[in-house]
Amino acid sequence: MSIQILKRLAVWVGEISLEASVIGLLLIGLLGYDRNAFGRGWLTYTAATAYMFFATGYLITTVISRVAWRGRSLWPYSVVATALFLIHFEVLNVGVEGAFDIRSRLRIRLVGACIAFAFTLAGSLVLRKWVPPHTKLVESLRT
């Protein structure tokens, strides 16, 4: 496996971990928590979010997109990842037969989409600095 792919995977793991953690905080704000056990509530919501990412296929589609994405532009991958988040959230909601009420669902979609966009954009910035452009990679392989 090439070092560039490993770097892309490392950035993806960071993106997904941060997304799940921040969405866990969002769920605490929307659904509440035990005041005596904030950390446990946050970890529970974060783990539930990570499970949702796994169960709906969000992990697979985003890792394939992140590893395969070769563009140097910052925002297109973020748009793709945000669309994937919205699609997979709806898959979750349909799969559990409307677990969230309409207002909570709208807030989770809006804020979750912003979170997905922000962290994937940050990941693209990191990759821009960390992984050489495709043309440099091809030239380095030739020599």
Vertex 25 angle, CA 60 and 50, to 5°: 20
Q: pTM of this prediction?
A: 0.81
Q: In terms of residue numbers, what domain contains 106?
A: 3-142
| Domains in the chain, number | 1
Residues with Cβ < 8 Å from 137, sequence gap 6 or more? 4
For residue range 51-87, list pLDDT tens digits in order: 999 988 999 999 998 888 777 677 889 999 999 999 9
